[in-house]
Amino acid sequence: MQAIVEAAKAEQWPLQIAAVISNRADAAGLEYAAGQGIPTAVVASKEFPTRAAFDAALGGKIDEFAPDLLVLAGFMRILTAGFVGHYEGRMLNIHPSLLPSFVGLATHQQALDAGVKIHGVTVHFVTAELDHGPIVAQAAVPVLPDDTEHSLSQRVLEQEHIIYPWAVRKFAEGKIRLIGNRVQISE
């Protein structure tokens, strides 16, 4: 999230960051965003009895800001199909693996356990099926012999900070087209 906000400022993107919203009051990104003059909000997931109730409250809060694009950045709650449908074609996520490999959590450990020589990161549209939406951008990194989960995750994170801002900018510029399951991006 911070990398996106910094790139938007430095490169003077044609957009406004409408708000930064978290399901946890202690998320570090809230303080950063507030310091940048960005509106913030918390919808505390632990205060809701069901996923559907949380998603309804979250959606209500997001819609107050009427965003054109919703960007998941470190958001760790699986979203219901109803929520996802409401933002179809206008919600992005970044997932730390080369999808469709290694969905879910602990992706760097999954890559080490599988013994792959190349790992990476994927920006994708969010659909109801976890980590399966249309792929917008990917970046690959080598897996080195002495890698640990930490060293590998740091190498991937460097790429995350490049491709996520790039993808958001392309969306804001109207240069991303969804054709079925495929994403077309123009220069």
Catalytic residue ranges: 95
Nearest distance from residue 158's CB to ligand NHR, in Å? 17
Radius of gyration of the CA atoms of the chain, in A: 17
Give the CA diameter of the chain. Answer: 49
Q: Give yes or no for residue 137 binding ligand NHR (CB under 6 A).
A: no
Q: Give yes or no for residue 130 binding ligand NHR (CB under 6 A).
A: yes
CB neighbour class for 138 (10 Å; exposed up to 12, middle 13-18, buried from 19)? middle
Q: Give yes or no for residue 170 binding ligand NHR (CB under 6 A).
A: no
Nearest distance from residue 106's CB to ligand NHR, in Å? 10
Scan residues 94-113 and list those touching ligand NHR (CB under 6 A): 95, 104-105
Q: Can you list the alpha helix ranges (DSSP code H) found in the chain? A: 2-10, 28-35, 51-64, 81-86, 107-114, 149-172
Nearer to ligand NHR, 33 or 71 (CB): 71
CB neighbour class for 86 (10 Å; exposed up to 12, middle 13-18, buried from 19)? middle
Scan residues 44-73 and list those touching ligand NHR (CB under 6 A): 72
Nearer to ligand NHR, 60 or 104 (CB): 104
Which of 126, 136, 143, 176 touches ligand NHR (CB under 6 A)? Answer: 126
Any idea how long the chain is?
A: 187
Q: Quick one: DSSP state of residue 45?
A: G
Q: Which stretches of the chain bind ligand NHR, using CB under 6 A?
A: 72, 75-79, 84, 93, 95, 104-105, 126, 128, 130-131, 133
